[in-house]
Amino acid sequence: MTMDKQKQKDLEKKGWKIGSAKEFLNLSEEESSYIELKIKLSANLRKLRTERKLTQVDLAKIIKSSQSRVAKLETGDPSVSLDLIIRSLFALGTSDKDIARTISY
């Protein structure tokens, strides 16, 4: 499952430019939904941070983490949990409704 995510990143790097992971990989519906959800929220996190003109170092301080972890957060690294993404969004003042909107697109 962690491997699938890696596989996806590898494909993306090779320029596959996939929109939805599902058709290329043998991911279950749950698994791809979960991954796509993480990607949506990660992208939203980066959007919020850059809108506020914060660097990754700035955000790292706010969430009491490190620049490298923030980078991983934003690039959807398989090693980051949904928990950390959500916590970070809340730390930036995101509301439940904002998160809901992001999830629904």
Residue ranges in contact with a copy of itself by CB under 8 A:
29-30, 33-34, 37, 81-83, 86-87, 90-91, 96-97, 99-101, 103-105
Selection from a copy of itself, DNA, none that 60 binds (CB < 5 to 8 A by kind) is DNA
- Which of 10, 20, 24, 71 touches DNA by CB under 7 A? 71
User: Closest Cα partner for 69 from 32, 42, 47?
Assistant: 42
Residue 66 makes contact with DNA by CB under 7 A? yes
Distance CA 74, CA 34 (A): 16
Residue 3 burial by Cβ neighbours in a 10 Å radius (0-12, 13-18, 19+): exposed
Q: In 10 A of CB 70, how many CB atoms? A: 26
Distance CA 31, CA 96 (A): 23
CB of 25 to a copy of itself, least distance (A): 16
- Binding positions for DNA, rule: CB under 7 A: 2, 50, 55-57, 60, 63-69, 71-72, 74-75, 77-81, 83-84
